[in-house]
Structures are given as structure tokens and as C-alpha cells.
Amino acid sequence: MTEANPCELDSDTRKRLHRMLRRNTETLCLEFQGAVNANGACVFKYRGQTRSVPRLWWEHHFGPIPEGQWLRKREECRSSRCACLDHHYLYLPTTRPSA
């Protein structure tokens, strides 16, 4: 009934990603152990693309994020490396930032 793999991560990628995520037993954050980009965001190479880890992890569990919606981190979460599903939520911006 449920899609086993909504964003079609192949098993190697899934294993690679799993290995790079550690649960912080104190904060319950799922912390990424790999690279961060210049902005401090966790990134992961996937099919030749550099993807945001929290986004990729979210899409892996729930399917693609609808266009126009953002994945945001909850205020309680203090870790910049967190990909924990419980620490994120989908946000629909009501106003677009003016250019």
C-alpha cells in the first residue's frame, strides 16, 4: 500500500546516506556527518547532483516536496546538521519575497 521508496533512492545511495546520519541521543537530532557547503547546509551527491540532505531524507520518506513548498526546520532544533523528520515541517510561503 505504501510506496517503499518514494524518491527512488537506490539501495547503495540509501545505505550511504544511512551511514552518514547519526542520532544524537541527547537532542534526538539526526545529524549528518558528511560535507557542508559554503552556506553551512548539509549536502549529498546524488545522481551527479548536489542535494540538500534534509530535503532528500524527507523526500525519501514522504515523496517529492510540492512545488512552492519549503522544508523548514523547527525552532526547537538547534543543529544545523539535522535531518530528523520530526524536526522539520513543510511550509507554504504566503507571500513571495520581492526581488
CB of 72 to Zn ion, least distance (A): 12
Q: Draw the binding track, 13-42, toward Zn ion (x: CB under 5 A; -: no contact).
A: ----------------x-------------
Q: Which of 55, 60, 87, 88 binds Zn ion (CB under 5 A)?
A: 87
Q: Which of 21, 43, 53, 82 binds Zn ion (CB under 5 A)?
A: 82
The answer to the question of residue 84 lying near Zn ion (CB under 5 A) is yes
Written in H, E and C, the secondary structure of the chain is CCCCCCCCCCHHHHHHHHHCEEECCCCCCEEECCCECCCCCEEEEECCEEEEHHHHHHHHHHCCCCCCCEEEECCCCCCCCECCHHHEEEECCCCCCCC
Scanning 34-42, 56-64, 74-82, 91-99 for contacts with Zn ion by CB under 5 A, the matching segment is 74-82
